[in-house]
């Protein structure tokens, strides 16, 4: 049975809220504390399906991770070489981050491992990580379509490499960084466009030695990481659904507290500001290795823009909801050079274009982008193709739709934003959940 949402015309959304913990930082905290020496407590861990897949994998690899009564998690680190072999497949579910980061980490272990996932993850490209990992000496095999399952065997030596990124991707970068923790040689990664640097920040926070200058990331050998407690801020990518919901609502104001504001994650905010959004950051402070703050948003009249290439990498997960903002703006919004969106949990250019067309929003799909003309949502039935961000984007579009929007295949919302349904309903969205 498939889960669905039906959203009926609503007045607006408002309130003072928090969003769940950052998905990228949650994965990294579980991974890095598992291979550190000592005990670390994680506060604010995102308890989503994706992060729970990572947590379960480390338990299978012999790491003790316990949930405490105050909802924090304690990770008993095993050190860089303390993980244990399992004969079972390591199931990453829907999570590309788990699969790609763990492939790098497992390349340096002294045992075989096999990474698998769900139907969507089995279709996603993996050659992008196996190629640099093989350059480092890893023994890694993909399916004949260059997808999962990923089989990894131990090797005598992981070598340092000089690697120029071919795709702007934090997952590829992080996979290389995690493998390089098992090398006694230096690795240099050259980025064209900087991508989220949570892996680098957290490794340095735990005593590692990664130096970043201009577009070069140098990972210096270090024989151990030392556990520390990690506080995870709210996920800006989840906050963006609330932000756009407020912007397109009438007479609305929302405060979102304690959101991660790493500058390599806030391209979506910059894009919305260019479109005329009223978004203010208050109470900004550093929080462990990251920056956090509170976000104040007010309903705004948005204008279409040409989205600058420089914001693409730092807004990569936000495009589905940014397209809803564009559909509500006056004039046209143009996105180019964003072909990567075709390789996410769904082909996000295609699924968004189909959904917008279904709601009578004019758009023109290109190979690497989309042009969207502002208009009026007339309602309709949208297939999210099991992509959490597509499902949540069209739920938010329901705020301004003249007729109901039904969204099919919404179960995967829990991969990144458990509690989305209850939160958005409490904020005023007229949403119902059901089965097809």
Positions annotated as catalytic residues are 317
Binding residue for ligand S3P (CB under 6 A) from 26, 97, 252, 384? 97
Give φ, ψ of 388 to 5 degrees.
-50, -45
Residues whose CB is less than 8 angstroms from the CB of residue 131 and which lie 6 or more positions away in sequence, other chains included: none
Which region among 166-174, 215-223, 238-246, 277-285 touches ligand S3P (by CB under 6 A)?
A: 166-174
Cβ 341 vs Cβ 366: under 8 Å: no
If one asks whether residue 170 binds ligand S3P (CB under 6 A), the answer comes out as yes
Cβ 79 vs Cβ 109: under 8 Å: no
If one asks whether residue 94 binds ligand S3P (CB under 6 A), the answer comes out as no
- Cβ proximity to ligand S3P: between 339 and 403 the closer is 339
The first and second tokens of residue 47, run together, are 């308890």
If one asks whether residue 174 binds ligand S3P (CB under 6 A), the answer comes out as yes
If one asks whether residue 227 binds ligand S3P (CB under 6 A), the answer comes out as no
Binding residue for ligand S3P (CB under 6 A) from 26, 34, 169, 238? 169
If one asks whether residue 45 binds ligand S3P (CB under 6 A), the answer comes out as no
CB of 417 vs ligand S3P, minimal distance in Å: 12
Which region among 53-61, 105-113, 145-153, 167-175 touches ligand S3P (by CB under 6 A)?
A: 167-175
If one asks whether residue 341 binds ligand S3P (CB under 6 A), the answer comes out as no
CB of 303 vs ligand S3P, minimal distance in Å: 27
Give just the sign of the alpha carbon dihedral 33, 38, 40, 46: positive
- Cβ proximity to ligand S3P: between 294 and 317 the closer is 317
- Cβ proximity to ligand S3P: between 174 and 412 the closer is 174
Binding residue for ligand S3P (CB under 6 A) from 41, 105, 316, 325? 316
CB of 321 vs ligand S3P, minimal distance in Å: 13
The first and second tokens of residue 28, run together, are 């990294």
What does 180-236 look like in DSSP terms, one character per residue? Answer: HTTBSS-EEEE-SS----HHHHHHHHTT--EEEETTEEEE---S--B---EEPPBPH
- Cβ proximity to ligand S3P: between 24 and 29 the closer is 24
Cβ 276 vs Cβ 301: under 8 Å: yes
Which region among 163-171, 220-228, 253-261, 326-334 touches ligand S3P (by CB under 6 A)?
A: 163-171
Tell me which residues in 14-33 interact with ligand S3P (CB under 6 A): 24
- Between the CA of residue 212 and those of 173, 189, 202, 217, what are the distances in Å? 13, 10, 13, 5
Q: By rule CB under 6 A, what count of residues binds ligand S3P? A: 10
Which region among 155-163, 165-173, 284-292, 301-309 touches ligand S3P (by CB under 6 A)?
A: 165-173
Query: If DSSP states are collapsed to H, E and C, what string results for 285-347?
Result: EEECCEEEEEEEEECCCCECCECCHHHCHHHHHHHHHHHHHHHCCECEEEECCCHHHHHCCCC
- Cβ proximity to ligand S3P: between 92 and 359 the closer is 92
If one asks whether residue 95 binds ligand S3P (CB under 6 A), the answer comes out as no
DSSP 20: P
CB of 170 vs ligand S3P, minimal distance in Å: 4
Tell me which residues in 196-215 interact with ligand S3P (CB under 6 A): 196
If one asks whether residue 180 binds ligand S3P (CB under 6 A), the answer comes out as no
If one asks whether residue 317 binds ligand S3P (CB under 6 A), the answer comes out as yes
The first and second tokens of residue 372, run together, are 């969207």
- Cβ proximity to ligand S3P: between 170 and 431 the closer is 170
Give φ, ψ of 340 to 5 degrees.
-55, -25
Euclidean distance between CA atoms 174 and 372, whole angstroms: 33
Half-sphere exposure for 203 (CA within 13 Å, toward CB): 24
**Preceding peptide of 149 cis, ω within 30°:** yes
If one asks whether residue 412 binds ligand S3P (CB under 6 A), the answer comes out as no
If one asks whether residue 235 binds ligand S3P (CB under 6 A), the answer comes out as no
Hey, is 348 helix, strand or coil? helix
Which residues form the interface with ligand S3P (CB under 6 A)? 24, 97, 169-171, 174, 196, 316-317, 340
């Amino acid at each position: 049975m498939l889960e669905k949402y039906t959203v009926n015309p609503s007045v607006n959304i408002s309130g003072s809220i928090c969003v769940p913990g950052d998905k990228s930082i949650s994965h990294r905290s579980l991974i890095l504390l598992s291979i550190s020496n000592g005990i670390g407590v994680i506060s604010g861990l995102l308890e989503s399906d994706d992060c729970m897949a990572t947590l379960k994998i480390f338990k299978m690899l012999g790491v003790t991770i316990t949930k405490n009564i105050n909802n924090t998690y304690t990770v008993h680190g095993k050190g860089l070489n303390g993980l244990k072999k399992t004969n079972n497949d390591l199931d990453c579910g829907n999570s590309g981050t788990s699969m790609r980061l763990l492939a790098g980490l497992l390349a340096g272990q002294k045992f075989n491992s096999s990474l698998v996932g769900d139907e969507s993850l089995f279709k996603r490209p993996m050659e992008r990580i196996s190629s640099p990992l093989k350059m480092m000496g890893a023994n890694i095999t993909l399916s004949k379509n260059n997808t999962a399952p990923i089989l990894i065997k131990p090797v005598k030596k992981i070598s340092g490499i000089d690697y120029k990124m071919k795709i702007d991707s934090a997952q590829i970068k992080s996979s290389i960084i995690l493998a390089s923790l098992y090398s006694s040689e230096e690795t240099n990664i050259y980025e064209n466009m900087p991508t989220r640097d949570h892996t680098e920040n957290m490794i340095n926070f735990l005593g590692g030695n990664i130096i970043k200058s201009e577009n070069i990331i140098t990972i210096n050998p270090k024989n151990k990481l030392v556990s520390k407690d990690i506080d995870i801020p709210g996920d800006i990518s989840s906050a963006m659904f609330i932000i756009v919901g407020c912007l397109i609502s009438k007479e609305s104001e929302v405060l979102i507290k304690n959101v991660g504001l790493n500058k390599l994650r806030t391209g979506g905010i910059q894009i919305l500001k260019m479109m005329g959004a009223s978004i203010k950051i208050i109470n900004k402070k550093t929080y462990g290795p990251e920056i956090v703050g509170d976000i104040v948003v007010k309903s705004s009249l948005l204008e279409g823009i040409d989205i600058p290439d420089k914001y693409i990498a730092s807004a990569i997960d936000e495009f589905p909801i940014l397209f809803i903002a564009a559909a509500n703006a006056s004039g046209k919004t143009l996105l180019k050079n964003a072909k990567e969106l075709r390789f996410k949990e769904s082909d996000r250019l295609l699924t968004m274009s189909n959904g917008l067309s279904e709601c009578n929003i004019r758009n023109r799909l290109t190979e690497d982008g989309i042009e969207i003309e502002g208009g009026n949502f007339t309602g309709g039935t949208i297939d999210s193709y099991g992509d959490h961000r597509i499902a949540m984007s069209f739920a938010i579009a329901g705020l301004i739709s003249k007729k109901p929007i039904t969204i099919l295949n919404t179960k995967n919302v829990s991969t990144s934003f458990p509690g989305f349904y209850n939160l958005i309903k409490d904020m005023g969205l007229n949403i119902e959940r059901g089965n097809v």
